[in-house]
Amino acid sequence: MRNTRARSVVVTSRTEPDRQVAAGAAASACAHVARLDIERTTLYSPDELFDQPAYADSFDAQADRWARSTSGPAEALAEVLHDQAIDTALAEWIRGRSLVGVMGGHAAQRGSQEYDDAARLGALLGRTHVIATGGGPGAMEAANLGGRFAQQPAEALAEALDRVAVVASYRPSIDAWVDSARAAAALAPAPSPSLGVPTWHYGHEPPNLFATAIAKYFRNALREAILLQICDAGIVFLPGAGGTVQEIFQDA
């Protein structure tokens, strides 16, 4: 793969009308989603997205509901400006890091051989690279889990896999899925860095908690292009369905 990195397009307000339009977009976003900063300078952490005991009350769930119900130029601009800010923050986060992507389906169940193999792959690759995934559940979560434990003893990774296996999927309960992930993540208090790049376009799939940094976008097309651009050390494709086939096509 070519050694390409994220490209950041900086949007600046040059006139007073420009500033007023941007301010209107920010006000519209904050009126619907508390703490949605369309000019943020850092990527999200799991604790920011999962900031409430019940997922339905969390920042991530609020943003998902807003993304599915928004209409109008102010709301559209707010999403664009937010994603541009994430793009800029991501460019800074990857600086000096070598990333390898792991792409695969969201359907891999915790406790399955497919899930455990993806986690062990993430742990092996994470010894010399930073793991980057689509940030969702399934194989993506497994690879981020492995990347988080890349510098931990093999026994710690095995225990983490046992802890998440008690809740195989985010369905029917996202809260139970999150709680088991937190129990597993606690086994690596000093985790190796890893990246998730999810999107509110697929808001019904919560982001996984094992990525130490989360570049969450509103627009899915931008998110997929960015993920391909930043993985300078290559991409591993694991079993998946239509989305994975699309990603292989884009990469080719």
- Per-residue pLDDT reduced to its tens digit, 32-88: 676 789 889 999 999 999 999 999 999 999 999 988 887 788 888 888 899 999 999
pLDDT at position 102 is 94
User: Which helix (H) or strand (E) element contains residue 211?
Assistant: none
Q: What is the CATH number of domain 99-251?
A: 3.40.50.450
Question: Distance between CA 156 and CA 8 in Å, rounded?
Answer: 37
Task: Give CA torsion, residues 112, 114, 116, 118, to 10 deg.
Answer: -150
- Per-residue pLDDT reduced to its tens digit, 79-123: 889 999 999 999 999 999 999 999 888 889 999 999 999 999 999
Give the HSE-up count for residue 134: Cα atoms under 13 Å, Cβ half-sphere.
Answer: 28
Q: Where are the domains of the chain?
A: 16-93, 99-251
Question: Distance between CA 207 and CA 228 in Å, rounded?
Answer: 18
> Which segments of 56-147 are extended strands (E)?
99-103, 130-133
- Is residue 225 a contact partner of residue 246, using CB atoms and an 8 Å limit? no
